[in-house]
Amino acid sequence: MEDVWVEKYRPRNLSQVVGQDDIVARLKGYVKVGNLPHLLFAGPAGTGKTTSAIALARELYGEGWRARFLELNASDERGIGVVRTKIKEFARTASMGDQLFKIIFLDEADALTPEAQAALRRTMERYTATCRFILSCNYSSRIIEPIQSRCSVFRFRPIKQEDMARHLRNLAGKEGLRVTDDGFDALVYVAEGDLRRGINSLQVAASLGGKIDAEALYRVTSTARPEEVRSLIETALGGDFLKARGELDDLLLQYGLSGEDIIRQIHKSVFDTGIPDRLKVQLVDHIGEVEFRMVEGANERIQLEALLAHLVSVGAKMKEAE
């Protein structure tokens, strides 16, 4: 277990990128003509943004891609200084060989300060002849409009469940793992469209040895089983506040979850309950309010118990309406 599987199985070309077929087709078009504009990759974590940038450089430049590709993480170096030094120095020098331009890949570009983005805008404009920029971010709205208008925007979607399950099964086969069907279902549930999280969770579970099932995966990822969260909601809606409070204690102690972890899982599980849609709307609204209070520093335990009390009240109204 010495290898980090996320890196070991990182795609080496665009055809191996998982779950982003339309984006891959567009990027292959750039490779075919040997040219590309500035690019902006936007989307959730673990959906293939960095992988696509590296695979694009590999296919454009071949074996010598590293000499023409500079990767920086803007969350580490987010000030105007990095734009004026590292980025500018790399951008201003001409590329060697057949390719006329180099590539600067700026990961987590939404972490750049507004001043740094303004300086970057000018650098992108000035050195287009020798350099192309690929910016990667989780939130494109945090990139200033002058930069967005200079880029071709690619929006990465969370990986579909069937694509993730197929890739994880293939990986498990290569590693000789025994993973049950409910284990793969648990992996997909835990990952939530983030393939990197799914691969890391599988590697952690594999380190325990033996057969990998849903129980092992929920335990190593500190995730409550969806049926347990659903039982918590249904118990509260049934009017038994003390029993629901006991189930909440079990979740907090057994899985070591934080209040925000619990509230996110409750939010996901609300839609699997049999309550009317109009009540689901009210519950989601209240869950959002509780989550906001937690983020602002309110006591997690009090807020979770207040949510359970609210669920009891909603359940009582449902009985009255019947």
Angle 92-95-97 from CA coordinates, rounded to 5°: 165
Tell me the pLDDT band of 79, cut-offs 50, 70 and 90. low
**Rounded to whole angstroms, how far apart are CA atoms 96 and 157?**
35
Q: For 32-41, 65-74, 134-143, 182-191, which range has the lowest pLDDT when averaged over its residues?
A: 65-74
Share of the chain above pLDDT 90, in %: 48
For residue 274, pLDDT beyond 50: yes
Res 153: pLDDT: 94
**Rounded to whole angstroms, how far apart are CA atoms 247 and 207?**
30
Tell me the pLDDT band of 1, cut-offs 50, 70 and 90. very low
Closest by alpha carbon to 53, among 96, 109, 111? Answer: 109
Q: Find the radius of gyration of the CA atoms of the chain.
A: 24
Comparing 199 with 272, which gets the higher pLDDT? 199
Residue-wise pLDDT for 174-193, tens only, equals 999 999 999 999 999 999 99
Res 95: pLDDT: 66
Please report, for the chain, the start and end positions of each structural domain, with discontinuous segments joined by +.
5-155, 161-220, 226-321
Q: Region 286-303: what's the mean pLDDT?
A: 93
For residue 251, pLDDT beyond 50: yes
Options 3.40.50.720, 3.30.360.10, 3.40.50.300, 3.30.70.120; CATH of 5-155: 3.40.50.300
For residue 97, pLDDT beyond 80: no
For residue 62, pLDDT beyond 70: yes
Tell me the pLDDT band of 76, cut-offs 50, 70 and 90. low
Statement: 161-220 belongs to CATH 1.10.8.60: yes
Q: Burial-class residue 286 by CB neighbours within 10 Å (0-12, 13-18, 19+).
A: middle
> Is beta strand 38-42 parallel, antiparallel or unpaired with respect to 69-73?
unpaired
Domain made up of 226-321: CATH architecture? Up-down Bundle (1.20)
Tell me the pLDDT band of 8, cut-offs 50, 70 and 90. confident
**Rounded to whole angstroms, how far apart are CA atoms 76 and 107?**
10
Q: Region 25-30: what's the mean pLDDT?
A: 94
Sequence-separated (6 or more) residues with CB below 8 Å from residue 165 = 184, 187, 188
Res 82: pLDDT: 63
For residue 130, pLDDT beyond 80: yes
* Alpha helix segments (H runs only) across the chain: 5-8, 21-33, 49-61, 80-82, 88-92, 114-126, 145-148, 161-175, 181-191, 195-206, 214-220, 226-237, 241-255, 259-270, 277-295, 300-321
Q: For 39-48, 72-81, 147-156, which range has the lowest pLDDT when averaged over its residues?
A: 72-81
Res 166: pLDDT: 93
CA distances, 167 to each of 16, 140, 172, 196, 203 (Å): 10, 28, 9, 11, 14
Q: How many CB atoms within 10 Å of residue 167?
A: 18
Angle 42-139-171 from CA coordinates, rounded to 5°: 50
Chain Cα centroid distance, residue 8? 19
- Which amino acid type is present at position 85? T
Asked if 119 contacts 150 with a C-beta cutoff of 8 angstroms, the reply is no
